[in-house]
Amino acid sequence: MSFVSPLFLWYFLPAILIAVLVLPRSWRNGIVAVGSLLFYATGAGAFTLLLLACMVVNFAAGPHLEPDPWGMRSQAQRRWLLIGVVAFDLSILLVWKYAGFATEQIAWFAQLFGGDVPIAELALPIGISFFTFHHISYVVDIYRGERPALRNPVAFGTYISMFPQLAAGPIVRYHEIADQLPQHRSHRLDDIAAGFPRFALGLCKKAVIADSLAPMVDACFSTPADEMTFAIAWLGAIGYTLQLYFDFSGYSDMAIGLGRMLGFRLPENFARPYSSVTVTEFWRRWHMSLSRWFRDYVYIPLGGNRGSAAKTYRNLWIVFLLTGFWHGAAWTYVVWGLYHGVLLVVERATGRDTSPATTGARVGRRALTLVLVVFGWVFFRSPDLGYAFTVVGTMLVPDFSGLSDVVATALTNQRLVLLLAALAVFFLPARPVTGPMLESARTTPATVLRIGVMTVGAIYAAILVATGTFSPFLYYQF
């Protein structure tokens, strides 16, 4: 089930909100947990059993991972249990997400010597990368003593399966939400009033902008490599840069708004990333919940920046290699991750990641950062590395071939207008961030924006959804 489907908007969401609003406060977690599992089952089917199995293992391990002041469990016992549970979680992810990729590489190597190895073909469970990271956060935070284990399976099920963030984040670290799981919610109408404008903003981003740009972007990236032109390459790259941002930040706004309506404060995931003046800053503003997860559970445990410069660079490379691979089992994602790792290492080595910039220099540095990010998204979107390098090479060599008939047909007047309007995100200042401002600010601009997205924007987006002009969220595939 998608947030932009009639089933969700007109049946599931109203039913959940009415239940949370009118039933006793102590029922909230149960309503959210059961509703979330039903939400997941409509799209994942039998994979719901896989999610439940992972939940059982991690919930059962939680109390045994807590620091024991009485010495009943040794540090070594806790450590080995943590290693076992994390290994279990990662093995589920590796098998279901990466078995096909691994066997493809083995089969390719075997063919060099005349061998024949079958390729594993496994369907990818929706949201597996996200609920795996939630489980790992849960057991690690307990092991570190940051929060106690949950003894109530309903509260645990609420954290792991909460439908706003289950399929595509934000990635909510356990210590960020543990204090919200007790059901002390009293101002339910206030929460709904605060969360709905945020949800409406995300709905507009997704249905009005991202989905409108999708056919044009698809046409560009469906162009045969030998027919690629400078104009098609740049149109596709810029179009995808905008489509991905409005699609994923739109999902995040909807998730945060839904969470607020249910009484939860989910972490922010975007903060005007295309206003960044360095790639380092970009990663502090893009998919922030993923960056924080890798910082807390990979980068810092590896040593972070506490050792030599060489070790810091190694840690950055490892983190971004894993970041790329987390997004998908393909060499394009690996190269995309390494590309960003190289850029961050270069910025740190040259001091550019922390050096201040004058107003004039900020303009140039912001433009350079945006161009570097756009080139990176080509690898993220391309079907394979060969095609990605063709597009990048074409972007570097101007020609006057123009657009193909297929791309020109896809670039309708309506999409051209939306493309030009969406380009405004490249020029907006770094602050304020629209989502949080819309949710909590009481200024006149925030009030006008709230009224606009809840009336004109939400109604128009709902009409688009009703006519079937919506597509799955891009991050559902991860």
pLDDT the model gives residue 359: 66
Residue 20: both structure tokens together: 């949370």
Q: What is the DSSP letter of 278?
A: S
pLDDT the model gives residue 124: 84
Q: What number of helices (H) and strands (E) belong to the chain? A: 23, 0
Q: For the chain, report the end-to-end CA distance as a whole number of angstroms.
A: 16
pLDDT in tens, 350-376: 887 666 666 667 888 999 999 999 999
Report the distance separating Cα 163 and Cα 247, nearest Å: 18
Q: Is 327 a catalytic residue?
A: yes
Question: Which residue has 């981003």 as its token pair?
Answer: 205
Burial class (CB in 10 A: 0-12, 13-18, 19+), 268: middle
Report the distance separating Cα 436 and Cα 294, nearest Å: 24
pLDDT the model gives residue 429: 83
Report the distance separating Cα 340 and Cα 378, nearest Å: 13
User: What is the percent of the chain with per-residue pLDDT over 90, rounded to a whole number?
Assistant: 59
- DSSP three-state, residue 181: coil
Active-site residue, from 134, 135, 287, 327 = 327
Burial class (CB in 10 A: 0-12, 13-18, 19+), 99: middle
pLDDT the model gives residue 357: 65
pLDDT exceeds cutoff 80 at 251 = yes
Report the distance separating Cα 103 and Cα 50, nearest Å: 22
Average pLDDT value over all residues in the chain? 89
pLDDT in tens, 262-310: 999 999 999 999 999 999 999 999 999 999 999 999 999 999 888 888 8
pLDDT the model gives residue 442: 76
Of the candidates 274, 26, 61, 50, the residue with the CA atom closest to the CA atom of residue 150: 61
For the ranges 265-269, 293-297, 396-400, 427-431, the lowest mean pLDDT is seen at 427-431
User: Cα dist. 7→1, 10, 14 in Å?
Assistant: 8, 6, 10
pLDDT exceeds cutoff 80 at 471 = no
Report the distance separating Cα 112 and Cα 194, nearest Å: 60
pLDDT exceeds cutoff 80 at 324 = yes
